[in-house]
Structure 1
Amino acid sequence: MDAVAHPSTGTSRPTHRWGLGAFVLVEVVYLLASAAFSVFAPAGAPPAWLITLAIGVPTLVAAALAVGIARWRGNGARLDFRWQWSWRAIGIGLAFGVGGLFITLPAALLYQSIVGPDATSAVGGIFRDVRTGWPVAVVVLLLVAVIAPICEEVIFRGLLWGALEQRWGRVMAATVSTLVFALAHLEPQRAPLLLVVAIPIALARLYSGSLWGGIIAHQVTNLLPGIVLMFGLVGLLPAG
């Protein structure tokens, strides 16, 4: 298998045989899985556990498909997505995640003051006025703050990033994946805010040279909203 030089280290690494078509396939599968929950959902207001499944399962399926594509058509997620553990990547992810909060939190407050209640996230909107017990609420927190960031990073700054980087380089991969991340949530009202949120995550991925950098930064970004959502679900804060 051919190898290319890694831009940041100069060391060679094997190329892969998947590209942007793989990302499109993963996104289509995600949308179909999400639509399936909508079609087969029972009449009336769904319970919190079913909403959690409807949010989590399509994301997990899409990420699993991305990992499978890297294995079948490439060198596996560890190499193709730069999903290699290092304390340096964790430190960079934490630095950009925490540092990014000083930008994203004021931006979120400002955006909400301009847009109003519609500035809430899609997940927050779905769970609006929903109440449940602590077990499901904790699962929602884990989904929002731990699982979803891993899955989304695998898809956007693993699969999409890898397809773009192999053809156009790291800077183009960081730029385009950030734009696509903001648009792919299908929340036009929040797209500008999502773009701001995505920039520190992309920078963590770029400067760490590892998917873990983006994952950690993303998890830090999602932690506070996840905690607020959890307390809202058990009735300690306004839900949504």
Structure 2
Amino acid sequence: MFAPPEQPTFARPVRGGDVAAGLVAFLAAGAAMVGLGLLLVHAGAGAWLVPAGGALQVLLVWLALRLRGFTAADLGFTAPRRPWRLLWQVPLAWVAMMLVAAPLAQALLGPRPPGPAEADAEAVRTAVGEPAALVSLVLLMTLVIPALEEIVFRRLLYGWLERRWGVGVAVAASAAVFGAAHVLPEAVLIIGALGVATAVLARVQRSLWAPLALHMFNNTIVVAAILALG
């Protein structure tokens, strides 16, 4: 469990500098969203805060990784080993994740059902009045953010941990950090379980497309639920 695997999940080794560059860019963009938010709200364009902030995160992380010499193939965007299996692996992994995490969240946190972060729901409600902003927000939450988080948490963090301490530690630790990054207690448990499921899929398929498919599947369900209830 604590030994690096003979066949790593991804071909290119991840160095500490790679992880640091990705995380710093990711966090710096989040901090920059504060200033960006003030400007957009002052300009009366608050509905564009989340889409603009997401675009900023993508830009900064992409620049950071390009400077580190990463290509799309280096990041794990290669064909899955058995792509047709994703048709059942993705929904099965999502159901298994929810069957474990949702009852645990209810037991630990009380009767309030676990759900998406209030900030996500509020962002969607704010954007509903502006169709273009709403489309941008939906694309961001269902495609852009999943891709960005898979690169940072599964390709960089998981890849770095796996090379040093093996698959078991990499799955558990990367999922814990991924969950903790979402702050809210109910989100930490659900997202932490998603982190485990996506890391396992990455390991099985040796491709970042597999965990990205699960992440997109999950976020699409969340966004659809928010829109339906909004």
| TM-score normalised over the length of structure 1 | 0.74
Q: 1:142-187, CA deviations, whole angstroms, 9 ceiling, x for partnerless residues? A: 2111221111111111111221222223333222211221112333
Q: CA deviation at 1:24?
A: 2.9
Give the stretch that moved more between structures: 39-48 or 184-193. Answer: 39-48
Unpaired runs of at least 5, structure 2: none
Distance in 2 separating the partners of 1:188 and 1:109: 14
* Alignment partner of 2:79 out of 78, 85, 88: 85
Aligned to 1:34: 30
Aligned to 2:142: 145
Alpha carbons of structure 1 residues 215 and 121: separation in structure 2 relative to 1, 3 Å: same
Unpaired runs of at least 5, structure 1: none
- Residue 141 of structure 1 aligns to a residue whose secondary structure is helix
- Residue 7 of structure 1 aligns to a residue whose secondary structure is coil
Distance in 1 separating the partners of 2:11 and 2:196: 28
1:202 equivalent to 2:199? Answer yes
Map of 1:164-183 to 2, 5 A cutoff?
164-183=161-180
1:51 equivalent to 2:50? Answer yes
CA contact (8 A) 2:147 2:212 kept: yes
Q: 1:81-117, CA deviations, whole angstroms, 9 ceiling, x for partnerless residues? A: 33212361x3344433211232344544874683637
1:7 equivalent to 2:7? Answer yes
CA RMSD of aligned residues (A): 3.3
Map of 1:7-26 to 2, 5 A cutoff?
7=7, 16=13, 18-26=14-22
Give the stretch that moved more between structures: 186-195 or 205-214. Answer: 186-195
Number of positions where the alignment pairs a residue of Structure 1 with one of Structure 2: 220
Bigger RCO (CA 8 Å, 6+ sep): 2
One-letter amino acid of the counterpart of residue 88, structure 2: A
* Alignment partner of 2:112 out of 90, 111, 116: 116
- Residue 78 of structure 1 aligns to a residue whose secondary structure is coil
CA contact (8 A) 1:30 1:58 kept: no
| TM-score normalised over the length of structure 2 | 0.77
Alpha carbons of structure 1 residues 121 and 39: separation in structure 2 relative to 1, 3 Å: same
What fraction of aligned residue pairs are identical, expressed as a percent?
23
CA contact (8 A) 1:174 1:206 kept: no
Q: CA deviation at 1:8?
A: 6.7
CA contact (8 A) 1:100 1:200 kept: yes
Aligned to 2:90: 97
